[in-house]
Structure formats: structure tokens, C-alpha cells
């Protein structure tokens, strides 16, 4: 459903609020199909926000985006799809290790995707986000 919508109606993502509405409806639908995914997202969100200088806001195409010092760590769509941007070398390694797959739409890039469905996926997601956080984190100068 998600992939079909992205493939054929992806151009609608630029209409203000529509991606957020779509994401919310995905969240409602996943409540009936795999409600644990929503708990995993809650837990990941709480974990990431416990790290220094992290912030959260709505992702422009629906879901929540985590930043550190205004750089994106990664974002999660409400159907449990985690997207993170790494370098292409790291992406290749992660895919080889089975920790992630090609990004669900942007293939020719460093973007990776992880479908969070189980407790193990949640742990992997936190590891990947932590890795991304470490790479993007630069300590702010003390005030």
C-alpha cells in the first residue's frame, strides 16, 4: 500500500499537510495490523531524544525526523520505515551485514531503509541511528 502510494501518488507529497495526513492514516491502519510497531517508534523516539542536542520535528514527507545540531540523523515514517543517510561505502557495508536495505525510493544514493517490525529491528534501528548521530554530532561551543 505504502509503496504503491509512493510510486503512483508520490508527486502529491509537495501539497502542504497531505504527507502528514497520509502518515497519520498509516499510523491508524498499522494500529490494526501491527500495533507493536507504534510502540517501537515511541521507544526509539524516547531513546534518540535522550541523546545530547537531539531534536525532533515533523518530516517534510510525513513521519518524524531526528536532528542533531540541525543535521538530520534519520526519519521514521509511521508504518515503521526508518530512513537514514550514510555514505555509499557505509550503506554497502550495512546492506552486506543485513542490517538495512536499499532506500525504498532513492536507490542511487547513500540512503538506507530499515523496516521496523520486531524487537530486534527496534534494537538495530537504535544502533543505526546512534551510528548516524555519532557521525553527525559535533559538540556545540559552550555558552
Partner 1 sequence: MYQSRNAKLTLGIIVPNFVSLTFIGISKFAVDLLIKIKTDDYTAEGGTTLFVFSVFFVIPLVMGITSAYFWKDLGFKNIRYVTWSLLNTLIAILMSAIFLKEGIICLIIVSPVIFGCIVSGAFIGKVMFRRKNNTLNSSIIGILLVIFSADLFSKHQYTNKVTDTIIINAPINKVWQYVVEYAPITEKENYWLFQVGMPSPIQSTVDGHCVGAGRKCIFSNGYTFDEKMIVYKPNQELTFDITNQPRDPEIMGHIDILRGQFILKDNGNGTTTVTGNSWYKLYVFPVWYFDIWAESITRNVHLRVMEHIKTLSETNV
**Residue numbers of the site for partner 1 (CB under 8 A)?**
16-17, 20-21, 23-25, 27-28, 31, 35, 38-39, 41-42, 49, 54-58, 64, 67, 78
User: Between 97 and 143, whose beta carbon lies closer to partner 1?
Assistant: 143
The nearest distance, CB 20 to partner 1, in angstroms, is 5
The nearest distance, CB 131 to partner 1, in angstroms, is 20
User: Between 41 and 100, whose beta carbon lies closer to partner 1?
Assistant: 41
Rounded Cα–Cα distance for residues 113 and 105 (Å)? 9
Rounded Cα–Cα distance for residues 113 and 141 (Å)? 33
User: Between 20 and 99, whose beta carbon lies closer to partner 1?
Assistant: 20
For the residues of 31-84, what is the DSSP string, one character each? HHH-HHHHHHHHHHHHHHHTSTTEEEEE-TTSSEEEEETTEEEEEE-TTSEEEE
The nearest distance, CB 103 to partner 1, in angstroms, is 22
Amino acid at each position: 500500500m505504502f509503496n504503491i502510494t509512493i510510486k503512483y501518488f508520490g508527486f502529491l507529497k509537495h501539497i502542504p499537510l497531505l504527507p502528514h495526513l497520509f502518515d497519520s492514516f498509516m499510523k491508524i491502519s498499522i494500529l490494526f495490523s501491527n500495533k507493536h510497531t507504534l510502540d517501537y517508534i515511541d521507544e526509539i523516539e524516547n531513546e534518540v531524544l535522550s541523546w545530547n542536542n537531539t531534536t525532533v520535528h515533523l518530516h517534510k514527507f510525513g513521519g518524524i525526523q531526528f536532528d542533531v545540531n540541525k543535521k538530520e540523523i534519520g526519519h521514521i515514517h509511521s508504518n515503521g520505515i526508518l530512513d537514514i543517510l550514510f555514505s555509499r561505502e557505509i550503506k554497502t557495508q550495512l546492506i552486506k551485514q543485513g542490517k538495512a536495505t536499499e532506500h525504498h525510493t532513492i536507490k542511487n544514493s547513500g540512503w538506507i531503509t530499515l523496516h521496523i517490525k520486531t524487537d530486534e529491528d527496534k534494537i538495530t534501528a537504535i544502533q543505526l541511528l546512534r551510528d548516524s548521530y555519532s557521525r553527525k554530532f559535533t559538540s556545540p561551543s559552550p555558552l
